[in-house]
Amino acid sequence: MIVRFAGDSGDGMQLAGSRFTEATAEHGNDFATLPSFPAEIRAPAGTLAGVSAFQIHFAAQDILTPGDEPDVLVAMNPAALRSELPALARSGTVIANEDAFSKRNLQKAGYESNPLEDSSLDNYHLIRIPMTSLTASAVEALEGVSTRDAGRAKNLFALGVVTWLYDRPTQPTEDWLRRKFVNKPGPLEANLAAFRAGWNFGETSELIDVQYKVDPATDVPAGTYRNVNGTTATALGLIAASIRADLPLVLASYPITPASELLHELARHQDMGVRTIQAEDEIAAAGMALGAAFGGALGVTATSGPGMDLKTETIGLAMMLELPLVVIDVQRAGPSTGMPTKTEQSDLLMAIHGRHGESPVPVVAASTPGQCFEAAYEAARIAIHYRTPVILLSDLFLANSSEPWRIPDAAELPPIEPNFAEATDEPFEPYARDARGARPWAIPGTPGLAHRIGGLEKEDVSGDISYDGDNHALMTSLRAAKVAAISAELPLLEVDEDPGAELLILGWGSSRGAIRAAARRVRANARSVAIAHLHHLQPLPANMGEVLERYERVLVPEMNTGQLAQLLRAEFLVPVESYCKLEGKPLFAAELEREIEARL
Amino acid sequence: MTTELTAKDFTSDQETRWCPGCGDYAVLAAVQKLMPELGVEPHRVVFVSGIGCSGRFAYYMDTYGMHGIHGRAPALATGLAAARDDLSIWVVTGDGDALSIGGNHLIHALRRNVPLKILMFNNQVYGLTKGQASPTSERGMVTKSTPFGAQDAPFNPLALAIGAGATFAARTVDRDRHHMTDVLRAAAHHEGSAFVEIYQNCPVFNDGAFFALTEKDRAVFNRIPLAHGEPIRFGPDGEHGVARNERGELEIVGGERDDLVVHDAHRDDPTLAFALAGLAQSPNEPTPIGVFRSVKRPVGVAEAGAKLAAARANLQPGALAELLHGSDTWTVA
């Protein structure tokens, strides 16, 4: 990852950059740096010529050069943005000091309109922070700190933000400040306060920037590509599904990190007929989505772990009403509030089992940022065709990472047919079932189909309230059978075979990229390993058991304590092995390579 | 419509199963009788209910209906209203459902002014779970969960609704079909959220809680009827009235006074409605009934929904492809 700090030469950008480098080094990352000083020693403040930049590159391993394109640009003023933006990678992150984007500074930099407000930065991840004023507020109450000290401390604020965002340790910077300003208590206090304020701002506002971006490659299928992150791909998948199904899209959500981004993304698309509601709470959000579905819309609610707890009751109702509902869980590290800005895959068992009563619902999991499109589309398709709530599991890492995505042909997306019920001469039977086991979706406003549904147990076919024991047993099995039968139309689990492989690495969710990279490395060493990746967790693909039996050993890497492994052992009585990671970080190829090698 | 609708057209084939003598029967009959005159076909009407005795209401209307989960009916109905602006949506709830477990959804539906008619059956007790204190139980009320008397102060549902920004707030009683029908009609014609508190007798767990306002010999002394534009006067011969004292508070005075408060339900300022809601501390004393407040405010959720439906209807054929492409693409041959 490459971070470029840019500002006026007087802004102390070199200082911020070099501190970050040292913090990075202490963090055990390889790094390389590339400073860029302004050509003129004293170029006028705020002008392009006065921009000073400092770039560093760090990663877990294998860094040989400072990198060409920065992934992150910290722009302290408009001139810095204008001068450095062309170098920024596609879909890179811009952290802008919005205080500096005054009319005068914009003019000096040659901007006609404010790039933070027009849509010119749409292709970047823009984080706007009023750094000058926040720094001033952090510093103003300190004794013995001059206005000049305060004004110069904003670079440390920026450094604090970046230190938070990329998980660098704070101690080295604080120690270094103490050494540098050993006899200057004013500047020391100002810089410390600004640095801490920046770090705290990142934490309190739950800033996230997952910097795992895949560069465009050439050995990929032909087609037109764009960069997407998981959030955008999910939003596009939902919009595409709603248009293909010819249903209005209603997303109801309550703000929560990191799922709020999806609300923001979809809220922008009113012109596509997308309706977003910011609900009063997570429960209401699920209820509104379900109410919209009752009215014939594609109802969607999105949240993260704690919100899932609250939606559970409504998911149970949707399951009982047998209405389409898409529930998106952008997983983060739990339990409880846990680590809202860190990734995890620990909601799998909750998605599958986390409701009272016998309440099976389909569970779909996205595997890469771009694949979120397909996963969201698939979740909507299953929900609509089978009249069932579907849980789509994404995670913080997927939502915030980006990759080149081959844009699908809109006309060739699989059909989604809501197939609303229409009146016939026969009396309407709300719980009669079609070949898929799905009941009719009869929306209010349809003459002749007025009916009542609810959470109480239904009599088979008629849908009347029933407390009959035999009927309850029958309905329980019909609801389970409907979900189980989905596997009949799902693709079989595809195994990326390797001749002679006795070990299968079976993944799900966001570990797909890391597993593939690890397998490539192992195979490059002339060793054999097979890999497969699950996108449907409930029901599992029809050949799941057969695939498991084909291999001597099966390793399931997960960012949890082994939830998929548990499911597979319970269902197939096979000795699946787990590799578990619970550090709030995605799985990396290097560690998986090590785990695979240890088993060969 | 060629044939005139009757109450029968709104009556489902389900056997009503409330306890004998339950006030809910009267509300159901009044709603079924009112519906035909509203001119909305049954298939365009939706009843959404929560959990509790009132929750069963949805099953007895031959309209579309959803018996939801405890307290969530306003949320479910808000979602429905967001998706559809062509329906008449009614929420049926109770004091426990609306004010306890579902309090948040109620106040936010009212705040948003979602076009819902919210009928809250208030019997001051949990009936379905067999007699626990509810958020409207009066202090000292002995129930199974409060054997030494309820300790907590009750909610004043109308004050709560008005405080939440309700554009329509009214109170009626189960045992006066005529009054109830008038109030329900006014609610039905209101453009945004209409909140109606219905004092409803629970003959099993709280019998007679509202008899001071419903029984012939007592009602005439205790009902303070609210009529827009009229001085607020009550009693068999109008011998009592409501006026403001020197502190500006409402109080009950002699009906002969010429400075009685003139009811104004259409005032944008909610203070009169709020003061009237607080006039009675208990339904065992003189209590205002009728429409407290009925004002116009932009209707939430549904109007925006209609605009978005239009946006979708006018979508150009290539719009999805264009959206998928975004602004920065490259091609791999």
Per-residue pLDDT band for A28 (boundaries 50, 70, 90) equals very low
DSSP of A560-591, one letter per residue? SSSHHHHHHHHHH----EEEE--SSS---HHH
- The answer to whether residues A245 and A298 touch, using CB atoms and an 8 Å cutoff, is yes
**CA of A284: how far to CAs of A248, A254, A291, A444, A536, in Å?**
19, 8, 10, 21, 27
Q: What is the pLDDT of residue A446?
A: 97
Burial class for A65, CB neighbours closer than 10 Å (0-12, 13-18, 19+):
exposed
Spans of chain B below 70 pLDDT: 1-2, 303-305
Residue type for position B178: H
- The average pLDDT across A215-222 equals 68
User: Is pLDDT at A172 greater than 90 in this prediction?
Assistant: no
Percent over 70 (pLDDT), chain A? 89
CB atoms within 10 A of CB A279: 26
Question: Cα A234 vs. chain centroid, distance in angstroms?
Answer: 9
Q: Classify the C-alpha dihedral B67-B69-B71-B75 as positive or negative.
A: negative
The position carrying tokens 């490539």 is A520
Name the pTM for this structure.
0.90
- The answer to whether residues A89 and A69 touch, using CB atoms and an 8 Å cutoff, is yes
- The CATH H-level (homologous superfamily) assignment of domain A2-204 is Pyruvate-ferredoxin oxidoreductase, PFOR, domain III (3.40.920.10)
The position carrying tokens 């299953």 is A382
B101: nearest CA partner in chain A: A283
- The answer to whether residues B21 and B203 touch, using CB atoms and an 8 Å cutoff, is yes
**Domain residue ranges of chain A, discontinuous segments joined by +:** 2-204, 225-412, 495-598
Q: What is the pLDDT of residue A159?
A: 87
What's the farthest any 2 CA atoms get from each other in chain A?
Answer: 93
d(CA A282, CA A302): 9
Q: Which residues of A touch B324 (CB under 8 A)?
A: 236, 240, 407-408, 410
Q: In terms of Cα–Cα distance, which of A419, A252, A375 is closest to A325?
A: A252
Burial class for A485, CB neighbours closer than 10 Å (0-12, 13-18, 19+):
middle
What is the per-residue pLDDT across A548-562, written as a single tens digit (0 to 9) for each?
Answer: 999 999 999 999 999
The shortest CB-CB distance from A297 to any of B67, B83, B319 is to: B83
The position carrying tokens 């705290």 is A200
Specify the CATH architecture of the domain A225-412: 3-Layer(aba) Sandwich (3.40)
Residue type for position B320: L
For the stretch B183-187, contacts whose Cβ atoms lie closer than 8 Å and that sit 24 or more positions apart, written own/partner, are B183/B290, B183/B291, B184/B30, B184/B31, B184/B34, B184/B117, B184/B119, B185/B34, B185/B37, B185/B38, B186/B291, B186/B294, B187/B117, B187/B119
What is the per-residue pLDDT across A372-418, written as a single tens digit (0 to 9) for each?
Answer: 999 999 999 999 999 999 999 999 999 988 888 999 999 999 999 99
Q: What is the pLDDT of residue B65?
A: 98
The shortest CB-CB distance from A292 to any of B79, B321, B326 is to: B79
A290: nearest CA partner in chain B: B76
Q: Classify the C-alpha dihedral A175-A179-A183-A188 as positive or negative.
A: negative
Among B66, B97, B110, B113, the residue to mutate for chain A (most A Cβ within 10 A): B66
CB proximity under 8 Å: A 86-115 to B: 90
Structure token digits, residue B177: 């079909």
d(CA A203, CA A161): 9
Higher-confidence position of A150 and A593: A593
Q: What is the pLDDT of residue A227?
A: 84
Q: Residue A409 contacts by C-beta under 8 Å, 6 or more apart in sequence? A: B321
Runs of H (alpha helix) within A75-184: 78-84, 103-109, 131-140, 147-152, 154-165, 171-180
Among A452, A453, A464, A465, the residue to mutate for chain B (most B Cβ within 10 A): A452
Shortest CA gap A335–chain B (Å): 25
- The answer to whether residues B11 and B60 touch, using CB atoms and an 8 Å cutoff, is yes
Helix (H, G, I), strand (E, B) or coil at A460: coil
Q: In terms of Cα–Cα distance, which of A262, A319, A337, A326 is closest to A288?
A: A326
Q: What is the pLDDT of residue B308?
A: 76
d(CA A452, CA A429): 11
| A418 CB within 8 Å of a chain B CB | no
Q: Residue B123 contacts by C-beta under 8 Å, 6 or more apart in sequence? A: B23, B53, B94, B95, B134, B199, B200, B201, B202, B205, B206, B209
Helices B177-189 & B23-38, crossing angle to 10 degrees?
50
Helix (H, G, I), strand (E, B) or coil at A281: coil
Q: Which residues of A touch B59 (CB under 8 A)?
A: 452, 454, 465
Shortest CA gap B201–chain A (Å): 25
Helix (H, G, I), strand (E, B) or coil at A210: coil
Q: What is the pLDDT of residue A466?
A: 96
Residue type for position A275: R
- The answer to whether residues A286 and A252 touch, using CB atoms and an 8 Å cutoff, is yes
d(CA B167, CA B113): 7
Helix (H, G, I), strand (E, B) or coil at A331: strand
Per the DSSP assignment, residues forming a β-bridge with A508 are A534
CB proximity under 8 Å: B 253-312 to A: 301, 304-305, 307-309, 311-312
CB atoms within 10 A of CB A548: 22
In CATH, what class is A495-598? alpha beta
What is the per-residue pLDDT across A497-523, written as a single tens digit (0 to 9) for each?
Answer: 999 999 999 999 999 988 998 998 899
Q: Are strands A325-331 and A298-303 parallel, antiparallel or unpaired?
A: parallel
d(CA B29, CA B68): 22
List strands edge to edge, sheet with A93-97. A30-36, A51-59, A2-8, A72-75, A93-97, A125-129
Structure token digits, residue B272: 């009169």
d(CA A413, CA A423): 30
Q: What is the pLDDT of residue A63?
A: 35
Q: What is the pLDDT of residue A243?
A: 96
d(CA B127, CA A225): 61
- The average pLDDT across A126-134 equals 93
CB proximity under 8 Å: B 60-89 to A: 61-69, 72, 75-84, 86-87
Average model confidence (pLDDT) across chain A: 89
Quick check: ipTM above 0.95?
yes
Helix (H, G, I), strand (E, B) or coil at A55: strand
Helix (H, G, I), strand (E, B) or coil at A144: coil
Q: What is the pLDDT of residue B98?
A: 97
Q: Which residues of B touch A271 (CB under 8 A)?
A: 311
Q: What is the pLDDT of residue A31?
A: 42
**Domain residue ranges of chain B, discontinuous segments joined by +:** 7-228+263-307
User: Is pLDDT at A59 greater than 70 in this prediction?
Assistant: no
Residues counted in chain A:
600
- The average pLDDT across A96-111 equals 93
Q: In terms of Cα–Cα distance, which of A116, A159, A123, A219 is closest to A22?
A: A159
d(CA A420, CA B188): 29
Asked if the domains A225-412 and A495-598 are classified in one and the same CATH topology, the answer is yes
Structure token digits, residue B320: 């999805």
Domain covering B7-228+263-307, topology: Rossmann fold (3.40.50)
Q: Classify the C-alpha dihedral B103-B107-B112-B118 as positive or negative.
A: positive
A316: nearest CA partner in chain B: B69
The shortest CB-CB distance from A452 to any of B59, B72, B320 is to: B59
d(CA A381, CA A2): 39
Q: What is the pLDDT of residue A35?
A: 44
Q: Residue A14 contacts by C-beta under 8 Å, 6 or more apart in sequence? A: A35, A37, A52, A54
- Opening angle at CA A540, ends A535 and A544, nearest 5: 105
- The answer to whether residues A67 and A55 touch, using CB atoms and an 8 Å cutoff, is yes
- The answer to whether residues A7 and A45 touch, using CB atoms and an 8 Å cutoff, is no
Q: What is the pLDDT of residue A394?
A: 98
